[in-house]
Amino acid sequence: MAKVRSPTTAVPVRNAFREQQWQEAHERYLVCARTVFERLGYHGATVADIVVAANGSRATFYAHFRDKADIAACLFERTLPSGTAMYHRVVEFPELNREIVRAWLDEQVLGFWSRHRVEVEAVNHAMAADPAVAARHYQWIVDAVRLAGWPGTGVPTGLTRASLLVLQLERLCYHWLVRGVEHDRDQLLDILADLWFRELTVLGEDRP
């Protein structure tokens, strides 16, 4: 006699397949949005351009994203795990000194913001257009700092101090590496190293 399968046993398989389809479509739109933003700029790009690049439909786009600002925000969100991992390396320093901080800023932090200049530019324009995206962005920074686990960030004042430090760096990188404002790299790294070494030292002293 053939084994009778419970009606519920196939549901997880179907749900898993649908979830995979949803994730693949979501990722495809994000990849295509990055290409479109890089080619046309945030203001020049339209939802229609992204839909065409993804070989999709407007209905599918709006099933995943609210609008152009939302997909720009989601595109920036894709960078957050690697950004959090980068900031977490601070707690892995063999010791906290200015030279180690400067090397980390030079080799990892500035490289990160350069690699993700398309995402940074898109989300900055999206924040200007949509207050909800701006609120999400600030929360991303706070969450990244919290997950990085820096000493002193377990209390509100330390978390705020560290979040402002990251926000300040991000604004600098936006104007310098994305918008093209000229700076002497070595001079700027020296200033950043002084600032970050001092602030990280203060955070370490304020640990609960």
Q: What pLDDT, on the 0 to 100 scale, is given for residue 8?
A: 43
Q: What pLDDT, on the 0 to 100 scale, is given for residue 170?
A: 92
Q: Are residues 147 and 85 located together in one domain of the fold?
A: yes
Residues of the chain with pLDDT below 50 are 1-11
User: Domain with 32 in it: what CATH number?
Assistant: 1.10.10
Q: What pTM was computed for the model?
A: 0.84
Q: What pLDDT, on the 0 to 100 scale, is given for residue 12?
A: 53
Q: What pLDDT, on the 0 to 100 scale, is given for residue 19?
A: 86
How far is residue 177's CA from residue 111's CA, in Å, rounded to a whole number?
Answer: 10
How far is residue 148's CA from residue 153's CA, in Å, rounded to a whole number?
Answer: 9
Q: Are residues 118 and 177 located together in one domain of the fold?
A: yes
- Which residue range forms the structural domain that includes residue 48? 11-65
Q: What pLDDT, on the 0 to 100 scale, is given for residue 4?
A: 40
Q: Are residues 128 and 185 located together in one domain of the fold?
A: yes
- For residue 5, is it within any domain? no
Identify whether the C-beta of residue 153 lies closer than 8 Å to the C-beta of residue 146. Answer: yes
Q: 160 to each of 93, 145, 154, 169, 190, how far by Cα in Å?
A: 22, 9, 10, 14, 24
- For residue 112, is it within any domain? yes
- For residue 4, is it within any domain? no
Q: What pLDDT, on the 0 to 100 scale, is given for residue 61?
A: 96
